[in-house]
Amino acid sequence: MKSRIIIFLIFSILNGFVSHAQIFKKIKKRAEEAAKETVLRKVEEKTTEKTEKAMDTLLNVDKKLKKNKDSIENDTTGNEDGIEYENTLNDNTNDDENESEFGDSAIETVGETAVSPQTNKPWSKYNFVAGDHIIFHDDLSHEESGEFPSRWDLIRGNAENASFNNENIINLENESIITPLMETDEYLPEVFTIEFDAFFDREIMKNYLYNQVFKLRFWDGNSHSRFPNNESTYYPLHIYRFGAFLNAKIKGQDRQFKNFEESMMGMEPVWKHIAIAFNKRALKVFVDEYRALNIPNLGFMPKKVSIEGYTHPHGKENFTIAIKNIRIAEGGKKLYDRVLTDGKIVTRGILFDINKSSIKPESSGVINEIAKMMQEHPDLKFRIEGHTDSDGSETHNNQLSEQRANAVKQALINLNIDASRMTVKGMGESVPVSDNNTPEGKANNRRVEFVKI
């Protein structure tokens, strides 16, 4: 009897050991799983933290800022552009402290608006090339302040000519839309470029990030969207001081194209050069030298364009929404193809200050591409010819055109092109290619030609 009890106890103990071993295995397995979960959770937390930091850096938003994710309300239609804006309000903003960041020596005062002086940038990676033939050009040189711009039509709101920092501008009221006056309703060719300068005001940027935008529509009227077919919907192209955004539904799929550059945000009032290139189906958008959008297939053919100036919140009085130097040009062949077929390159994308030989920074796209072409084809040599319109005396225009040709040559030398491969000649107004009686004609006559030698 005792032996049976002992055997029973032994089996019980052994069975307990087995059970405990199984429990220990389960505990060990669970511990390993928990450890894995902890590691994954830590990785996720770090990833989330890095993502949040990246977004904070992108938006330049302090963690103490109060975020309001409500959509901007349109007076009658609510969120008209199919996107959700994020208004970032700094509850601790002090107007006096904000103003003190800019000393008197750093700004020029125009009326009640402070404007920072512009500085040229190297624009070394800029590759925008303007179209060959200008179909609309408005430098506002003959406009009268206070009147509606004579070469534009009004779709909504109000706009007027004004003088700003000694330059002529079109000043837009909030949510106003204007469109060029053209002979036909559908004037954009299958290859075109659009350029204009847009002013972003510090006064309305200091509290809100996404509150100032220029909206471009490529269709009639002021509708919030366009339906080129039953499967696609497009909203206006949004251009900010630090990037661009386009929202669409293409063939039933929601698409968002957006790109922002943190270094371009800033708070100071600033002019930005906007350049848009469309080539049969591809759309590119530049804000200064930064390529904000590169859409390989837009999905529809733009036929016209309008520009809207928009700010949020509504009802703010002391701000400036302005544009100037608007150009629309028909595109053309690639630069090297022009050399092969025509023996020369005629470009109207190299721009100068008025009556000066100083090259504007937005000309860098053409100059960079010509330098690249000459580096790829070391046998190429050019005579650089400067051409002007008929304004001013013939003597002055001859001298000015030669000075401009020399400035272009020097710009190419600065890009490591040997000076011996280039000669210069000032042609003045002697070889017009268009009528000097229209703004477009004058703009087409003002050109730089690279003639193969």
**pLDDT (0 to 100) of residue 39:** 43
The arithmetic mean of pLDDT across residues 60-89, rounded, is 38
- Residue 69 confidence (pLDDT) above 90: no
Instruction: Please give the residue that has the higher pLDDT: either 436 or 316.
Output: 436
Averaged pLDDT, 33-44: 44
Same domain, 243 and 96: yes
Examine the pLDDT at 321 and tell me if it is beyond 70: yes
Indicate the pLDDT class of residue 19, thresholds 50, 70 and 90: very low
Q: Kindly tell me if the per-residue pLDDT of 204 is higher than 80.
A: no
Among 31, 59, 87, the domain-final residue is 59
Task: Determine the residue type at 215.
Answer: K
CATH number at residue 209: 2.60.120.560
Query: Are 301 and 164 within one domain?
Result: yes
User: C-alpha angle with apex 117: 114 to 118, nearest 5 degrees?
Assistant: 130
pLDDT > 90 fraction of the chain, expressed in percent and rounded: 59
- Distance linking the first and last C-alpha atoms of the chain: 121
Q: How confident is the model at residue 352 (pLDDT cuts 50, 70, 90)?
A: very high
Out of 72-76, 347-351, 373-377, least confident range: 72-76
Q: Residue 234 CA to chain centroid, in angstroms? A: 18
Q: Where are the alpha helices (DSSP H) in 60-116?
A: 95-100
Same-domain status, 78 and 31 = no
- Which among 354, 307, 389 has a CA at the least distance from the CA of 134? 389
Each residue's pLDDT tens digit, 255-313:
999 999 888 877 788 999 999 999 999 999 999 999 999 999 998 999 999 999 998 76
Q: When comparing pLDDT for 26 and 397, which is higher?
A: 397
**Residue 451 burial class via C-beta count within 10 angstroms: exposed 0-12, middle 13-18, buried 19 and up:** middle
pLDDT at 97 over 80: no
CATH value at residue 361: 3.30.1330.60
**Are 82 and 221 in a shared domain?**
yes
Give the domain extent around 20.
Answer: 1-59
Distance CA 248, CA 236 (A): 9
For β-strands 422-428 and 382-387, DSSP reports them as parallel
Using DSSP's 3-state secondary structure scheme, residue 41 falls into helix
Asked whether residue 157 falls in the same domain as residue 246, the answer is: yes
Same domain, 160 and 241: yes
Average pLDDT, the chain: 78
> Do 116 and 130 reside in the same domain of the chain?
yes
Alpha helices in 150-278 (DSSP H): 202-205
Residue 155 has pLDDT above 60, yes or no: yes
Inter-CA distances, 370 with 127, 334, 381, 417, 450, Å: 10, 11, 11, 10, 9
- Across residues 15-33, what is the average pLDDT? 48
Q: How many domains are there within the chain?
A: 3
pTM for the whole thing?
Answer: 0.73
- Together in a domain, 245 and 123: yes
Among 29-38, 52-61, 218-227, 400-409, top mean pLDDT goes to 400-409
What average pLDDT does the segment 134-153 reach? 95
Number of H helices, E strands in the chain: 7, 25
pLDDT at 226: 87
Range with the largest mean pLDDT of 190-194, 266-270, 352-356 = 190-194
**Residue bearing the bigger pLDDT, 1 or 156:** 156
Q: Does 325 share its domain with 353?
A: no
